[in-house]
C-alpha cells in the first residue's frame, strides 16, 4: 500500500497555533459512515450526538514538561532535549536537536548553569542517552525547569506561553508519562463531562503514555514497512469489565482519540473480550485492520502520511476520510494538536 495515498494538501494557516478560547468551543465535524454524511457542529454539542448507554473511553495520561532548552559547554550553542524515558539509574533517552552537536561526552548546561548533563551515548537517529551530573532525579529537574513539549509545527514550541501549561493537558489527566498530548481529549471540560454523564453516557479511563513516534509521518514508501514505536498502556480489570458488559448489552464503545483506540484494540482477545493489560503496545492500525472493540471514534485532524491518519482511514474508509478532510480545509477548520475535532460514528 503506497503511503502517498494518504497525503492531502493543507495550507499552513490551517494549522492551529493556539487553543480555542474555550475548550469545548472547538468545531466538531460529525460524520456518519453508514449514511455517508457529515455535519458541521460544535464540540459542546457532543452529548446530543452520542447515545445514552455509550461508553466513552478516555486516555488519562498526563503530559510531563519533557523539553529542556540548554547550551553546549563550551561555546554556548543552543540545543534542545526532549526527554523520552528512563533507561536505568539517572540515565534517560532523549531526542536531541540539533543531534549532530550532541556527541558522546558533550556537556549541556540548563537553567543558566544550575543543571548540567552529559551525553553518554548515541541511542539511534536523533536520540541520545543523557546523564545528569547532579544528584537530582531527571523527573524533578523536568518539573522544575522543563516546558510543555509542544509539537514543532506550533511555531512557539521552544517558548510555550502560560496558557500551554493548562491547555496542552486534558482536564482528566492523572498519570504522568506522555511527551505529547492525547489531543482528542483536549476539548473536554468538567461541565461537558457532567453533561455526558447526566445523559447516561459512561466515561471510562485507560492509560497510554504517548511517545514521539505516534505523531511522526511514515517515511517508508510502503505502509506495511512502517513500525510503530512501542508505548506503555494500561487497562484495569474494572475498565475492561465495564467495556465488556456494555458490548454484551449492545452498547457502543466510543474511543476518545487514536491512543485510546490503539490500547483497546491491543487488549482484545480471540473471543473479542477486552482483557486487562499493563504492557507496551506497538500495534499499527492501517486500512485492512478489523476493529473488534470500538464502534465510534472521536479524533482531531492529523498530519498527512501519519499513522494517526491511517488509523482513521482504517476505521472510516480512506476516500470518506480524505473527502471529510477536504471539506474541513475549505470550511476553515483548524488542524492538528490545538485544532478542531471529528466524531466518526
Collapsing DSSP to helix, strand or coil, 261 comes out as: helix
Question: Which has the closest alpha carbon to 87: 144, 132, 126?
Answer: 132
pLDDT in tens, the chain (345 residues): 999 999 999 999 999 999 999 999 999 999 999 999 999 999 999 999 999 999 999 999 999 999 999 999 987 799 999 999 989 878 999 999 999 999 999 999 998 888 999 999 999 889 999 998 876 788 899 999 999 999 999 999 889 999 999 999 999 999 999 999 999 999 999 999 999 999 999 999 999 999 987 777 898 999 999 999 999 999 999 999 999 999 999 999 999 999 999 999 999 999 999 999 999 999 999 999 999 999 999 999 999 999 999 999 999 999 999 999 999 999 999 999 999 999 999
Q: Confirm whether 156 is domain-assigned.
A: no
**What distance separates the 2 farthest-apart alpha carbons in the chain?**
65
The DSSP-derived string for 23-66 is GGGSEEEEEETTTTEEEEEEGGGHHHHS-TT-EEEEE-EEEP--
Query: Are 57 and 74 found together in one domain?
Result: no
Query: Are 207 and 90 found together in one domain?
Result: no
Q: Is the Cβ–Cβ distance between 118 and 130 less than 8 Å? A: yes
Domain that holds residue 75: 67-145
Query: Are 190 and 56 found together in one domain?
Result: yes
Which class for 242: exposed (0-12), middle (13-18), buried (19 or more C-beta within 10 A)?
A: middle
Q: Confirm whether 30 is domain-assigned.
A: yes
Q: Could you tell me the CATH number of the domain that includes residue 107? A: 2.40.10.240
Cell numbers describing residue 309: 491518519
Query: Are 302 and 190 found together in one domain?
Result: yes
Query: Are 246 and 330 found together in one domain?
Result: yes
Q: Confirm whether 252 is domain-assigned.
A: yes
Question: Which has the closest alpha carbon to 177: 232, 258, 102?
Answer: 232
Question: Which has the closest alpha carbon to 130: 144, 120, 143, 116?
Answer: 120
Query: Are 188 and 290 found together in one domain?
Result: yes
pLDDT of residue 303: 95
- Determine the Cα–Cα distance for residues 41 and 192; give it in Å rounded to an integer: 15
Collapsing DSSP to helix, strand or coil, 330 comes out as: helix
Q: Confirm whether 38 is domain-assigned.
A: yes
Query: Are 173 and 187 found together in one domain?
Result: yes
Query: Are 74 and 174 found together in one domain?
Result: no
Residue 215's contacts (CB-CB under 8 Å, 6 or more residues apart) are 151, 180, 303, 306, 308
- How far is CA 15 from each of CA 88, 144, 167, rounded to the nearest angstrom? 38, 30, 16
State which of 145, 174, 190 marks the end of a domain: 145
Q: Confirm whether 158 is domain-assigned.
A: no
Q: Is the Cβ–Cβ distance between 310 and 218 less than 8 Å? A: yes
Query: Are 140 and 174 found together in one domain?
Result: no
Q: Confirm whether 154 is domain-assigned.
A: no
Helix (H) or strand (E) holding 163: helix 162-167
Domain total of the chain: 2
Query: Are 289 and 215 found together in one domain?
Result: yes
pLDDT of residue 36: 94
Amino acid at each position: 500500500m503506497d503511503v502517498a495515498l494518504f497525503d492531502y494538501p493543507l495550507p499552513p494557516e490551517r494549522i492551529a497555533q493556539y487553543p480555542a478560547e474555550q475548550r469545548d468551543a472547538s468545531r466538531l465535524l460529525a460524520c456518519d459512515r453508514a449514511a455517508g454524511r457529515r455535519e458541521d457542529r460544535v464540540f459542546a454539542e457532543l452529548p446530543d450526538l452520542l447515545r445514552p448507554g455509550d461508553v466513552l473511553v478516555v486516555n488519562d495520561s498526563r503530559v510531563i514538561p519533557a523539553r529542556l532548552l540548554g547550551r553546549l559547554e563550551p561555546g554556548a550553542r543552543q540545543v534542545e532535549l526532549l526527554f523520552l524515558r528512563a533507561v536505568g539509574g539517572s540515565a534517560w533517552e532523549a531526542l536531541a536537536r540539533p543531534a549532530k552537536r550532541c556527541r558522546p561526552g558533550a556537556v549541556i548546561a540548563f537553567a543558566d548553569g544550575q543543571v548540567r548533563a552529559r551525553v553518554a551515548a548515541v541511542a539511534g537517529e536523533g536520540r541520545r542517552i543523557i546523564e545528569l551530573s547532579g544528584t537530582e532525579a531527571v523527573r524533578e529537574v523536568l518539573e522544575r525547569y522543563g516546558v510543555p513539549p509542544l509539537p514543532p509545527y506550533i511555531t512557539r514550541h521552544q517558548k510555550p506561553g502560560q496558557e500551554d501549561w493548562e491547555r496542552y493537558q486534558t482536564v482528566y489527566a492523572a498519570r504522568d508519562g506522555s511527551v505529547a498530548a492525547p489531543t482528542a481529549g483536549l476539548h473536554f471540560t468538567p461541565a461537558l463531562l457532567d453533561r455526558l454523564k447526566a445523559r447516561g453516557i459512561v466515561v471510562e479511563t485507560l492509560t497510554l503514555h504517548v511517545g514521539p513516534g505516534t505523531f511522526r509521518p511514515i517515511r517508508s514508501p510502503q505502509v506495511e514497512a512502517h513500525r510503530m514505536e512501542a508505548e506503555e498502556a494500561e487497562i484495569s480489570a474494572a475498565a475492561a469489565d465495564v467495556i465488556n458488559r456494555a458490548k454484551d448489552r449492545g452498547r457502543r464503545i466510543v474511543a476518545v482519540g487514536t491512543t485510546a483506540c490503539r490500547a483497546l484494540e491491543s487488549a482484545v482477545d480471540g473471543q473479542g473480550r477486552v482483557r486487562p493489560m499493563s504492557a507496551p503496545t506497538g500495534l499499527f492500525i492501517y486500512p485492512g485492520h478489523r476493529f473488534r472493540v470500538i464502534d465510534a471514534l472521536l479524533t482531531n485532524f492529523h498530519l498527512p502520511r501519519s499513522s494517526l491518519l491511517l488509523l482513521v482511514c482504517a476505521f472510516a474508509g480512506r476516500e470518506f476520510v480524505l473527502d471529510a478532510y477536504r471539506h474541513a480545509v475549505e470550511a476553515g477548520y483548524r488542524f492538528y494538536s490545538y485544532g478542531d475535532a471529528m466524531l466518526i460514528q
